[in-house]
Amino acid sequence: MRKKIVAGNWKMNMTKEEGQALISEVINMANDEVKSSTVLVLCPPAPHLGYAKKMFQSQSNVFLGAQNCHEKASGAYTGEISAPMLKSFEVDYVVLGHSERREYFKESDELLKAKTDQVLANQLIPIFCCGESLSQRQAGSGFIEFVCGQLTNSLFHLSAEQFAKVVIAYEPIWAIGTGLTASSEQAQEMHAALRKHIAAQYGEALAQEIPILYGGSAKPSNAPELFACPDVDGGLIGGASLKSRDFIDIAKAIK
């Protein structure tokens, strides 16, 4: 059985007080309402990581994620955060290659390859984001190959043992923060294509074990249909993860 994961990407939101309140609400609701087999990952901005872990240390299904890390282990890179540091703060997951980082910080497939190596070398789990732009989608063809290519370029140098640790998040750029969501047919089509692409490289058995999450304007109203798709293993949630009720309702959509 593949892991089912609902991860909240807070992006650059939340003061300390707001973050603490959100985490305590999420923990309380998760205890009462979310199946223990559903993995929750909270990905706050870096300043929250230290206290956040302490707040849910006793929760067996709540994990901590960072939103990024540097490709080097240490050094003179003012303002950056390394994978060994994240590990020392007991971070479990690291989001890599979010489209906002690809666009605003010019992160390339090549750079993300190095970041993935760094994350895995520190026993952290990468949540590797991929997805096409609106113009690529509207062109009507080639967008599936493009997204598969993002995996090839940044991940397919990994050994099967390393790749087995990776979580994929398909986030169509046109659906992020826009209120537009991929239909369940569009999500399933891409997720199945990604799994097939992984199977061609690593074999069917390994491909069947890789969680592939959907991200892009996921909310309580559309999560049940999206998560019912056979190749959709949960979600990477932006805006709706900032509201405890919405985030938990999305997590409850995992059957």
Q: List active site positions.
A: 98, 171
Cβ 23 to ligand 13P, closest distance in Å?
18
User: Any contact of residue 9 with ligand 13P (CB under 6 A)?
Assistant: yes
Nearest to 102 by CA among 155, 142, 150, 136: 150
**At its nearest, how many Å lie between ligand 13P and the CB of residue 199?**
25
Give the residue with the Cβ less far from ligand 13P, 194 or 240. Answer: 240
Q: How far is the CB of 43 from ligand 13P (least distance, A)?
A: 8
Identified binder of ligand 13P from the candidate list 92, 107, 132, 171, rule CB under 6 A: 171
Give the per-residue contact string, 225-244, with ligand 13P (x = CB under 6 A; - = no). -----------xxxxx----
Token pair in block for residue 177: 């923060």
Q: Which helix (H) or strand (E) holds 237?
A: strand 234-237
Number of Cβ within 10 Å of residue 76's Cβ equals: 6
- Beta-carbon count within 10 A of 170 CB: 27
* Cβ–Cβ under 8 Å, residues 68 and 93: no
Binding residues among 174-203 for ligand 13P as defined by CB under 6 A: 176-177
Residues in contact with ligand 13P, counted by CB under 6 A, come to a total of: 14
Is 211 a binding residue for ligand 13P by CB under 6 A? The answer is no
Token pair recorded at residue 223: 């999560």
Nearer to ligand 13P, 130 or 202 (CB): 130
CB of 32 to ligand 13P, least distance (A): 24
Question: Cα–Cα distance between 145 and 123 in angstroms, integer?
Answer: 30
Contact between 223 and ligand 13P (CB under 6 A)? no
Instruction: Kindly state whether residue 215 participates in binding ligand 13P, applying the rule CB under 6 A.
Output: yes
- Give the residue among 8, 38, 169 at the shortest CA–CA distance from 96: 169
Beta-bridge mates of residue 235: 6, 214
Is 6 within 8 Å of 247 (Cβ atoms)? Answer: yes
238, 11 Cβ separation under 8 angstroms: yes
**Tokens 């789990």, residue?**
125
Residue 154, token pair as written in the block:
């940044």
Euclidean distance between CA atoms 46 and 33, whole angstroms: 28
Where in 47-106 is the site for ligand 13P (CB under 6 A)?
98
Min dist. Cβ of residue 152 to ligand 13P (A): 22
First vs last Cα of the chain: how many Å apart?
13
Select the residue interacting with ligand 13P from 19, 44, 97, 216 (CB under 6 A): 216
C-beta of 179 vs 230, nearer to ligand 13P:
179
Q: Which is nearer to ligand 13P, 68 or 202 (CB)?
A: 68
Closest residue to ligand 13P, based on beta-carbon distance:
238
Using CB under 6 A, list all residues that contact ligand 13P: 9, 98, 171, 176-177, 215-218, 236-240
